[in-house]
Structure 1
Amino acid sequence: MKRDYTTVLQLTDLHLFADPAGLFNHINTRDSFAKVLSHIHQHYERPDIIIITGDMAHDGATETYRFIAESLKTFSAPVHYVLGNHDHPENADQAYPLEWVTTSNHCLLSDWQIILVDSNNHPMPDSYEGEVSHAELQRIKALIAQHPDKSTVIAMHHNLPDHNDRGINFEVRNHQQVMQCFEQLPAIKLVISGHVHQEFMIVQQGICYLSTPATGYQSLSKSKCITNDAPGYRWLKLYPNGRFETDVRRTNIWAS
């Protein structure tokens, strides 16, 4: 029976190293990444598309980006990505595109489009804060105008909502401007992100803002401590007429 939805797998904040023994906050992120992928293969159908929302290679090495691509090849699904504040664009450019990893920042589906947005437009290198440029906002408006029949998912690394009550201050510097722009575009239904290494869902002005657990360590932002929550990932089911379902899944076993 033909499905009436498109499945999207979101992975985020891999923080991988070229060295298989590399540790990030005392966690072997390659091991945890492998367990996440194994969990997906064991429990779920093949996704139609994979979206990675940044912080892919913690060491920024070209070899790390190639390792990520080879690891995802088994899904036989196209991979789109945005870079995070820990990524190295020039090395990612050396590794991609590949047959199954595209550098395109726009994906057209049957009833939806996914617009991948660069939130790293910031004058201070290595800053945890993000910024979305005026040019990116204009690009989003133009794509929505070009495809008025499609609902829209925005994928970006940094988070837009104010999370001060959660102790999170790694925000997009011009988040109010960006959110006001989005609120004037009814086609935008979802904004998916990573960056904070934890799960949340906030609905504002009809737009659902989602953050997804990292494939490595999970953070408790108020104390800036690592939690015992397992690594995870997010599924999206995109239906016609702008309807969607989403769920976060976590692995059963922590990386050793």
Structure 2
Amino acid sequence: MKNFGPNSIPDPWTILQLTDPHLYADPGGLYDGLNTSESLRAVLTLAQARQWPPDALVLTGDLSQDGSRAAYARLRECIGGLGVPVYCLPGNHDDKDAMRQVLPGANIHAVDHARVGEWHCVFLDTAVAGREHGHLSAEQIARLDERLSAETEHPALVFMHHHPVAIGSLWMDEIGVDNPSAFFEVLDRHPQVRAVLWGHIHQEFAALREGVRLLGTPSTCVQFTPRTDRHQRDTLSPGYRWLRLWRDGRLETGIERLEHLGN
């Protein structure tokens, strides 16, 4: 319960971002040797031990590796009974039709924006069917501007799958958002935006642009080594990002990881 007593500072709202679980139809499916279903469950168990219950859970894409209905059904089993609102975005490995058919439920939402306490969250779809890179369509750009224009009094977060800035890994930077200037042109008109968050890169990333925090989040499965020209698996364990959101617009964030990789 939030503390709104007359002589106290209200508690912050909490969002947990989980990303890139890469689930398969086969519950024993392995991503580079790691069982992704087991890894996701382990990360959720860690989150429940560290920051629970959050006010929202945001899953930023590549929910499935094979785009199968069975994979999304397993994801729904994992998150459908958590008792917190869950917002799901597609990634380049996802099948959007299968996601829409299987995932939505009492607490699982496929929407383009939501309020979390006094904060406004905007969810963008950067996935391009059959392609690894990301793109923000004219419709997505217009919707971003519209949503932010309608909620100017509330601090805002923008979530997506692909990264809109270079992260210093040549191979990964070739498959980020291919029209970032259009995105930032809109963002620069809305000073209430506090952070942009994404998945896709399977590693932690943090930068600052015009006062806006730019945050990449580790995968719940395999991690990629930062600043490499070619794909390379890192030795770091799976993890997730937590965010604490204060009424005055302050944002605190950090990464939690499993102690052991698992396999």
- TM bucket normalised to smaller: over 0.9
Matches for 1:152-167 after TM superposition, within 5 Å: 152-163=156-167, 165-167=168-170
Aligned residue type for 2:185: Q
CA apart distance, 1:177:
2.2
Contact 2:55 2:116 in 1 (8 A): no
Q: 4+ residue stretches of structure 1 with deviation over 3 A?
A: none
Partner of 1:48: 55
Contact 1:50 1:78 in 2 (8 A): yes
Partner of 2:117: 110
Partner of 1:173: 178
Aligned partner (choices 240, 243, 254) of residue 247 of structure 2: 240
Separation in 2 of the partners of 1:141 and 1:106? 12
Separation in 2 of the partners of 1:219 and 1:157? 16
CA apart distance, 1:219:
0.7
CA apart distance, 1:201:
0.5
TM (normalized to structure 1)?
0.94
> What is the RMSD of the two structures over their aligned residues, measured on CA atoms?
1.4
Contact 1:9 1:233 in 2 (8 A): yes
Separation in 2 of the partners of 1:224 and 1:58? 17
Matches for 1:89-108 after TM superposition, within 5 Å: 89-108=96-115
CA apart distance, 1:204:
0.5
CA apart distance, 1:74:
4.0
CA apart distance, 1:64:
1.3
Contact 1:111 1:241 in 2 (8 A): no
Aligned residue type for 2:163: N
For the pair 1:186 / 2:209, whether they are aligned, the reply is: no
In structure 1, stretches of 5+ residues that fail to align are: none
Aligned residue type for 2:165: P
User: CA offsets per residue over residues 208-241 of structure 1, 9 Å max, x none?
Assistant: 1101000000012513111110000000011112
Partner of 1:142: 146
Separation in 1 of the partners of 2:201 and 2:72? 21
Contact 1:32 1:231 in 2 (8 A): yes
User: CA offsets per residue over residues 78-110 of structure 1, 9 Å max, x none?
Assistant: 100110000001111110321110112211133
Matches for 1:74-93 after TM superposition, within 5 Å: 74-93=81-100
Partner of 2:206: 201
For the pair 1:73 / 2:77, whether they are aligned, the reply is: no
Separation in 2 of the partners of 1:63 and 1:238? 35
- Bigger drift between 174-183 and 5-14 goes to 174-183
Aligned residue type for 1:229: L
Contact 2:187 2:193 in 1 (8 A): yes
CA apart distance, 1:75:
2.6
Partner of 1:211: 216
TM (normalized to structure 2)?
0.91
- Bigger drift between 201-210 and 218-227 goes to 218-227
User: CA offsets per residue over residues 18-50 of structure 1, 9 Å max, x none?
Assistant: 211111112111111111111112222211100
CA apart distance, 1:129:
1.0
For the pair 1:21 / 2:25, whether they are aligned, the reply is: no
